[in-house]
A and B are shown apart, each in its own frame.
Chain A
Amino acid sequence: MAAPRSLQFDTLSLHAGQRPDPVTGARAVPIYFTTSFVFRDADHAAALFNMERGGHVYSRISNPTNAVLEERVAALEGGVGAIATASGQAALHLAIATIAAAGSHIVASRALYGGSHNLLSYTLPRFGIQTTFVDPRDLAAWKKAIRPETKLLFGETLGNPGLDVLDIPAVAAIAHEEKLPLLVDATFTTPYLLKPFDHGADLVYHSATKFLGGHGVAIGGVLVDGGTFDWEASGKFPELAEPYAGFHGMDFQEESSVAAFLLRARREGLRDFGACMSPASAFQILQGIETLPLRMERHVENTRTLIDFLGKQAAVESIAYPELPSHPDHALAKRLLPRGCGAVFSFNLKGDRAAGRRFIEALRVFSHLANVGDAKSLVIHPASTTHFRMSDAALAEAGIGPGTIRLSIGLEDPEDLIDDLARALSAAKA
């Protein structure tokens, strides 16, 4: 008997969650530009509101275009479902707000995207949610930081700015030992390079603005439930395992043994916080995902080429990329990221802040802006932009030097990118 074959990643990137439109025959995903959906009759309306039938009511809660995106990303990640959100930040907030409340505590990697760090450091404490930040490589610190009121462990697959590789199996084991879930920001890796659920993570989110979309035209986020965590057995999540007065006394874990988190995130989080994605953005991000495997392969190939080039330049002091033997997570990267460590990395120019500015201004192909994960190559000089108010000492503490340059490598001809970098390196010396 031949074992059946499941659809593979490249095929799922194109087909998961979508079929040709049964009414019009449209092959592409239609953009359902509608706020609301007509009920067949009063009973149908009541059944939709009471979760007796699946279907769409109002586009803040769900929309057919968004549903294709959600199911596609869930399929690629190996989860049980997903929720598309207005941005990656909205996805992070939705994840936290679904299971945490005033008095809750989070343990997070200190190597986070600045926006995430702001949310955890400054904003959530105003709502009574505290975070302890730990060195992501210090497993003992993760364990030590857990308190009775801890609800979540959180890190990025590749940390910011040093590309610290999160040891997902080890951190997940620490979380599970304490009956806690692990949330992972997988924006830099995408499921093409790493599937966090395969390594023990329980929740994953993306800034879909970046590599999932890949074109830099749409802001969005996606929060995926792995369906692996037993919220009831944990005993720490009455939000999911006890009747909820805000939704007809529903016990979400009773409704779904594997998707309780996602049920509450949609039925409460999208309903009440309302950070939903526009169906136009969902369509645009879906266009990107159709070519995700092809693009990620080229992103990584170009990145390797440029790192090889930069490594030979006298003006370059150091490069932080986990595929290099000099990176502290090199061995871990080989284990978790055999397909590559993404297309965002930093290098240190010899010289001061002015050298960094000269480098940036001499570039012609790289675009100077605050984003990553575009098909076009991008660059930023943190010391003169995102971190310009910080002293050199404070920069050093954050792992950023006066000459640190962050690159996001796109899909251009690599020789053109090399020419561009060579010109800028020459200008930086002047």
Chain B
Amino acid sequence: MELRVAGNCAYAYTGGKSFDPKLRAVLFIHGGEQDHCVWVLQSRYLAHHGYAVLAVDLPGHGRSEGPPLARIEDMAEWITAVLDAAGVKAAALVGHSMGSLAVLECAARFSERVSRIALLATAFPMRVSPDLLEATKSKESDAHGMINAWSHSACAHYPSNPGPGFWVIGGNLRLMQRQKPGVLHADFAACDGYKAGFERAAQVKCPALFLLGARDAMTPARAGRDLARAVPNSTVVTLASAGHNLMGEKPDEVLDTLVEFLRA
């Protein structure tokens, strides 16, 4: 589905069903240098189980127009604009990595628009090492290699994603390569520059799920748990043998945990 947000086309995958704003809404926000398809299994399942689903492409990513947003704060505001455009008063927000920070910021500042939040593979601060940040600017291919190696905990995944026969590590690399030049650096600079995490965490009023990977080398689970402790009503679930690419490596566990959290 295409929405008009701030004068640009904003794309949202609706899980293979027509979007019905009268249903309980769930909005998925991907991480840096990615797009909506990282959520394909989870969003498709929820869309066929009574939810109105929007798995968005952030500006400049995938099919959405416009330049990438420079700050996490901008992404939070953009999320509320997407809800406006879709006719949704309040939604559950699910974010991965960079998207999780946008979810946190949005829930703290626009609490009336957010019913609950799920933060996957999150950490605060989400600092990016100087070498990697420089590579995102000067040599994206090197940065992609580093990110891909750090994002996976194993070279075999069951049942794989989106299904058997798909090579998760190769798919993640190609998805990053598919994004436009400059998006990667903008995303990682936004993560690195976000300073308000603990402050915003304390302001979150809705239930919050922290879904972490025990072997996450990009956003270590320890840092995710630190952030969770700052959120008043939070639950932490740590998936064993999972790296940063949680939806790719553990699609069923991610879905089952989200379903339980959203039902509660």
Contact = CB atoms under 8 A, between A and B. Distances in A.
A75 B174 CA distance: 12
Interface of A: 1, 3-7, 12, 15-19, 46-47, 50-56, 62-64, 66-68, 70-71, 74-75, 78-84, 226-228, 230, 248-250, 254-259, 262-263, 266
Given A1-B129, A18-B156, A56-B159, A255 B37 contact: yes
Interface in B105-153: 129-132, 142, 145-146, 148-150
A266 B165 contact: yes
Contacts of B163: 51, 54-55, 62, 266
Contacts of B7: none
B75 to A, nearest CB: 20
Contacts of A262: 165-166
Given A256-B37, A258-B178, A74 B164 contact: no
A52 B48 contact: yes
A159 B62 CA distance: 38
Most buried by B among A75, A81, A84: A81
Given A51-B162, A259-B166, A262-B165, A248 B16 contact: yes
B255 interface: yes
Contacts of A80: 166-167, 170-171, 174
Interface string B175-192: 101100000000000000
A95 to B, nearest CB: 15
A287 to B, nearest CB: 17
B169 interface: yes
A53 B171 contact: no
Nearest to B38: A257
Interface residues of B, number: 45
Interface of B: 13, 16, 35, 37, 40-41, 44-45, 48, 62, 129-132, 142, 145-146, 148-150, 154-167, 169-171, 174-175, 177-178, 217, 251-252, 255
Given A1-B129, A51-B163, A249-B16, A12 B155 contact: yes
Nearest to A46: B48
Given A54-B41, A259-B171, 9 more contacts: A54-B160, A56-B159, A62-B165, A71-B165, A74-B166, A81-B166, A249-B16, A255-B37, A258-B171
A54 B149 contact: no
Nearest to B45: A52
9 shortest A-B CB distances, which residue pairs? Answer: A4-B149, A227-B174, A52-B45, A81-B166, A70-B165, A54-B159, A74-B167, A67-B164, A54-B163
B165 A82 contact: yes
Given A7-B155, A75-B167, A256 B142 contact: no
Contacts of B16: 50, 248-250, 255
Contacts of A83: 165
A256 B129 CA distance: 30
Contacts of A51: 41, 44, 162-163
Contact of A81 (B130, B171, B255): B171
A172 to B, nearest CB: 16
B165 A5 contact: no
